[in-house]
Structure 1
Amino acid sequence: MSSGTTPPPAGPRPPARGEQLRHRTVSAAVADALRQRILGGALRPGTQLRQDALAEEFGISRIPVREALLQLEASGLVRIVPHRGAVVSGLSVEEIEDVFQLRALLEPQLLILSARGLTAEDYRDLRALLGEYKAALCAERIDLWGELNRRFHLGLLRHAGRPRSLGIVSGLLQDCDRPTRLQLSLTGDVARADREHTTLLDLCEAGEVVAAAALLRSHIEHAGRALIGLYRSVEAAGA
């Protein structure tokens, strides 16, 4: 009979590799579903996302839900607030003003640097993208407006040769996603947005780069003013 010591009691079994992979796969699917609701406006800024309710809705445990919320927090769509848990994030009026001022400063400068490098293929791609954007505007596919707008703006600036500035602009456009869709849907500015995008492309292709940069600045400033006006009217109504 062995006189060895009794082994300590086994602790909690670590998740098997397949179980970890399953959690990651499920959490990614939940994150994507919640991301679409947030970007589509179904989940408004300030909405509390309760882990137990989401776990019940999706028919899963709370572990992948928690992982999904952490993914959304990393992308800036959700904030983890003490005593409240996960809350859908949103921008204040001051933040909206800051974002649009930065865009109005950076994007025209980058367009001047980029426009002369745009190729015939770039113009074909950008016009095809404008076709998608116009179709989405006409079909009132609000969920697509922000992403298509972002792709168009970045497409115009792609040859600027300023990767750090482009990274900043990309982040600003991501921040503008939901506010831009709100501004377009509530102000009826869809026709103006489509017209100005088309004119921007025409000016660049014609070599009228300075005029294109001036229009881009005006385009951004108008959207910012309209959106700030909307936010302030909502604040006033709730006061």
Structure 2
Amino acid sequence: MKRNVEELDRDDAQAPSQDRKATLAQALRHRILRMELAPGASLDEVALAEEFGLSRPPVRELMRQMAAEGYIELEANRTARVASMNYDSLRNYFLAAPLIYVATTKLAAAHATQAEIDGLKRIQERFRAAVEGNAVDERVLENDHFHFAIGKMAHNPYLLPSLCRLLIDHARLGKTFYQPRDERMDAELAEAVQQHEDIIDAIQRRDADAAGEIVREHVYLARRNMASYVAPEGVAVAIEF
């Protein structure tokens, strides 16, 4: 059936709005992951609508979508806020992280296609370049892309949503890990880069057990520096896995 001229004109008018909405979504996700928007910060719908040339309804729709993804929190009669990071949420993160990362990485070793593995290698090249170039925000985002790609390679629709939620706080906590303050932390960052390489190698070899063990060590390596987010320097934080 042929579409009439009015329908085509309406689609043309909607396309730019959809593009602006996608741009806003990407910008908000990056601002949250980079900690440009702090946990618990209020989000001004009017200001965002004006900044990205949108009306308020598509902004509200995006807020609901991002709340479902775990980036923001919505409550009745309250301003939307960036997802908080309190003691309980962080404890849940540290408890769940090794379980989800190990499961997805082992499944990736069993199910990844060669094209997916090649894509993971390209992400790792960008991650390594960001580390060597001291580009902190890019380190955070490329590390997020690395583990998300592995989650997709697992081909398991039950695990991927949990991984995506973990990655939000992983990126935010990772701002401490990716800004080394001393030689020990700098050495651990270099070790993390090598662990990425070892994970890729294990997936390439279809060695699920090795891939799972390496990513477990990878999570433990980052835990101490990430935990520094919740306590002043010099104060021990005991969060058991």
Fold conserved between structures, TM > 0.5: yes
Question: What's 1:225 paired with?
Answer: 224
Deviation string 1:180-225 (CA, Å, 9 cap, x unpaired) is 2343225544322211111222344456543332221121123233
Is the radius of gyration larger for structure 1 or structure 2?
1
In 2 relative to 1, CA 199–89 (structure 1 residues): closer, same or farther, beyond 3 Å?
A: same
Q: Secondary structure of the residue that 2:85 maps to in structure 1?
A: coil
In 2 relative to 1, CA 29–132 (structure 1 residues): closer, same or farther, beyond 3 Å?
A: closer
Amino acid at match of 1:80: L
Question: What's 1:185 paired with?
Answer: 179
* Farther off after superposition, 128-137 or 181-190: 181-190
Q: Is the 8 A contact 1:183 1:230 kept in 2?
A: no
Question: What's 1:215 paired with?
Answer: 214
Q: Secondary structure of the residue that 1:41 maps to in structure 2?
A: coil
User: Following the alignment from structure 1 to structure 2, what is the Cα–Cα distance between the partners of residues 152 and 124?
Assistant: 12
Q: Is the 8 A contact 2:69 2:164 kept in 1?
A: no
Amino acid at match of 1:49: L
Deviation string 1:140-167 (CA, Å, 9 cap, x unpaired) is 4444434432332344455545431244
Amino acid at match of 2:231: R
CA-atom RMSD in angstroms: 3.6
Question: What's 1:44 paired with?
Answer: 38
Question: What's 2:7 paired with?
Answer: none
From 51, 70, 73, the counterpart of 2:67: 73
In 2 relative to 1, CA 193–120 (structure 1 residues): closer, same or farther, beyond 3 Å?
A: same
Amino acid at match of 1:202: D
User: Following the alignment from structure 1 to structure 2, what is the Cα–Cα distance between the partners of residues 157 and 71?
Assistant: 20
Q: Secondary structure of the residue that 2:73 maps to in structure 1?
A: strand
Question: What's 2:118 paired with?
Answer: 124
Q: Is the 8 A contact 1:106 1:169 kept in 2?
A: yes
Q: TM-score, normalised by structure 1?
A: 0.69
In 2 relative to 1, CA 81–139 (structure 1 residues): closer, same or farther, beyond 3 Å?
A: farther
User: Following the alignment from structure 2 to structure 1, what is the Cα–Cα distance between the partners of residues 160 and 74?
Assistant: 28
Give matches, 1:139-218, under 5 Å.
Answer: 139-156=133-150, 158=152, 160=154, 162-185=156-179, 188=186, 189-206=188-205, 209-218=208-217
Question: What's 2:87 paired with?
Answer: 93
Q: Secondary structure of the residue that 2:190 maps to in structure 1?
A: helix
Q: Is the 8 A contact 1:93 1:232 kept in 2?
A: no
In 2 relative to 1, CA 219–82 (structure 1 residues): closer, same or farther, beyond 3 Å?
A: same
Question: What's 2:102 paired with?
Answer: 108
Deviation string 1:116-138 (CA, Å, 9 cap, x unpaired) is 44455444332222101111223
Amino acid at match of 2:162: I
Give me the identity figure in percent: 28
* Farther off after superposition, 97-106 or 27-36: 27-36
User: Following the alignment from structure 1 to structure 2, what is the Cα–Cα distance between the partners of residues 170 and 119?
Assistant: 21
User: Following the alignment from structure 1 to structure 2, what is the Cα–Cα distance between the partners of residues 44 and 168?
Assistant: 22
Structure 2: which 5+ runs fail to align?
A: 1-9, 236-241
User: Following the alignment from structure 2 to structure 1, what is the Cα–Cα distance between the partners of residues 60 and 214?
Assistant: 44
